[in-house]
Amino acid sequence: MSESLRTAFDVRPLSGALGAEVLGVRLEDITDEEFAELRRLLLRYLVLFLPEQEGWSSESRIAFGRRFGELEVHPYLPHLDGHPEIQIIDSEQDGKIPIWHTDMTYSPNPPIGSVLQIVRSPGRGGDTMWSNQYLAYESLSAPMRELLDGLTAIHAIHIPGLDSRAEHPVVRVHPETGRRALFVNRAHTSHIVQLSRNESDALLQFLTEFSTSPQFTCRYQWRPGDVAIWDNRVTQHYAVDDYEERRTGLRVVVLGDDPTGNKPRWSPYRPKPGERYAPARVNAKEPY
């Protein structure tokens, strides 16, 4: 399946849910017109894959990321010498943490997206999966959507050198498309503010499992030089740990998100006298 586009890209959707390969563009010298088309495609497919981008210079990589917005300097991930915006993802340096997640939702302003290039990949295995959180939300029943639209959740991380938490709507509205999407994940969502601990745990377990069901996902098999660009606002991703060889990549992360949705319809849950209430603490390392 392909599409005819005004920039003459060859666009090949990867699944019915999300994801597309884009051929016919070189990121090293991308034009303004080509970038505008890539951004439009990103809003449609949520994750784009651009194969065979060898020779992408650090300066061009940073300039490309800055077309989307301000770039993050990660608090503890290693980075290229002289280029703190370019993070090094290495399976031999805590780079193998397989869990479905949306990056840095424990921040009040999580990233809007990421650009990852795989430099070295194993002979087999080491794929990455993405999940469409628009479809996850839209596939829920109307009563469930109505409940979730009135809830907020705490997202947190507690590890040496990084202790952060933020409250976000359980259902967020994408600032560019206006569509609603689930915004909870297994790695960082601690608890739902308006529910009891037992209720919150049960609902989050259902939502995190449902939102990554196979019908909402795509899977990409990396080759050295391939680049992925994804919308962090409405996707989750999962790095499959089924390999032994080393896997490395270079990533830039675009800041600037402000998750918004409906205002809470209920007050925060208050434990009854004598009730023990200890919201879950999230201790996972930041996965990539």
Q: Which residues are catalytic?
A: 101, 103, 237, 251
Q: In what order do the strands lie in the sheet with 20-23?
A: 3-4, 10-13, 20-23, 47-50, 227-231, 113-120, 248-254, 83-90, 79-80
Q: Is the dihedral of CA 258, 262, 263, 265 positive or negative?
A: negative
What amino acid is encoded at 114 in this protein?
A: S
Q: What is 86-145 written as a DSSP string?
A: EEEEETTTT------B-TTTTSSS--SEEEEEEEE--SS---EEEEEHHHHHHTS-HHHH
**Whole-angstrom Cα distance, residue 99 to residue 110?**
18
- Contact (Cβ atoms closer than 8 angstroms) between residue 13 and residue 1: yes
Distance of CA 240 to the CA centre of its chain: 15
Looking up tokens 């805590």, which residue turns up?
A: 94
Which residues have CB under 8 Å from 229's CB, separation 6+? Answer: 38, 42, 47, 48, 50, 113, 114, 115
